[in-house]
Amino acid sequence: MTSSLPPSPSPSVLDLAPVVPVVVVTDAADAVPLARALVAGGLPAIEVTLRTPAALDAIRAIADGVPEAVVGAGTVLSPVQVTASVDAGARFLVSPGWTDALLDAMRASGVPFLPGVSTTSEVVALLERGVREMKFFPARAAGGTAYLKSLAGPLPHARFCPTGGIDAASAPDYLALPNVGCVGGSWMLPGDVVAARDWARVETLAREAAALRDGR
């Protein structure tokens, strides 16, 4: 099976930073200063989730205004959202799960993508389709580090970005696993800090998250 798997896209989203901030933007005007704070703190890969009406405008604003950021779209659920996200400037795509139609659309988009999995069978199905990099979601509820560790032996080609229930305290345990490239989380974006537009605090929290690489 090893020889049948194509090389992963380069550079990989999983290798840009130890943490990919998962961002929910309610006001597109906040997108650029928020992204600048994250990048300044050492977290260039930014996943803007498609959970709000402002999400696509936020992706577009970051793509245009913060070129040093690698902005992506998260919670991608349909081929229509794939097209809209890439048109807005998304440089990678993340889904909480996948179907054949969604996978085909993400593959055809031309940008890196992380389809979501939570079971061994889903991982095997993606490997069969030549996909080696995946989102493991919801990480804590689906078995956490113990589950991912158990996948490393039989499925060594699969690499993961676990997301869901991960915080600054648990992230190092995930990052220590050989099949984890990075983790996704939002702990560096506390609701009250973002509401106050305290971008200096966001930068400080981002810098602390970026330093988790040293503990891997």
**pLDDT per residue as tens digits for the range 84-105:** 999 999 999 999 999 999 999 9
Alpha-carbon torsion, ordered 186, 91, 58, 187, to 10 deg: 10
Cis before 138? omega within 30: yes
Lowest mean pLDDT among 54-58, 156-160, 209-213: 209-213
Does residue 4 register a pLDDT over 90? no
Give the residue-averaged pLDDT of 151-166. Answer: 98
pLDDT surpassing 50 at residue 6: no
Q: What pLDDT score was predicted for residue 2?
A: 36
Closest CA to 183 of 128, 137, 151, 120: 137
- The answer, yes or no, to whether residue 8 has pLDDT greater than 60, is no
Q: What is the pLDDT of residue 29?
A: 97
pLDDT at 111: 97
Does the structure show a pLDDT above 80 at 11? no
Contacts of 194 (CB under 8 A, 6+ apart): 30, 34, 202
Angle between helices 31-40 and 199-210 (to 10 degrees): 40
Instruction: Give me the active site residues, please.
Output: 47, 135
Whether the predicted pLDDT of 70 surpasses 70 = yes
Alpha-carbon distance of 17 to 46, in angstroms, equals: 10
The pLDDT assigned to 202 comes to 98
CA-based R_g, the chain, Å? 16
Sheet containing 93-94, strands listed edge to edge, beginning at the edge strand earlier in sequence = 113-114, 93-94, 70-74, 45-49, 19-23, 183-185
